[in-house]
Amino acid sequence: MDSPSAKEEFGAAKEFKRVTQEEFDAHIATLGSEVESEVSGISDPPMMDVNDFSGGKTWPDSVVAKVKLNTRMHGHPAYKGEPDEYYIAVWRACGGG
């Protein structure tokens, strides 16, 4: 039997770790072809979720990364003037603290 994926073994992400844009880009590059991003304008500043829908995952379990869009919104000029903030999912064992 194949070993379980990190997601099968640990469950949904419980927290997100702030990383540099370079670390974020490197992480996204490792993900499969079923990755999609979406921007939620309901928050201020807007947030972009990166979702991995492989294996039939659905939101919120599909969220593998996030960007707090302080400086860009769909290619428009500066939004808030602060640097964007990049986050990647940190997997934790189910039932853990």
Q: Encode pLDDT of 61-85 as tens digits.
A: 899 999 998 876 555 555 666 788 9
Quote the pTM value: 0.72
- Cα gap 4→37, rounded to integer Å: 25
22-49 pLDDT, tens digit each = 999 999 999 888 899 998 878 878 889 9
Give residue 96's region: left, alpha or beta (phi > 0; psi -120 to 50).
Answer: beta
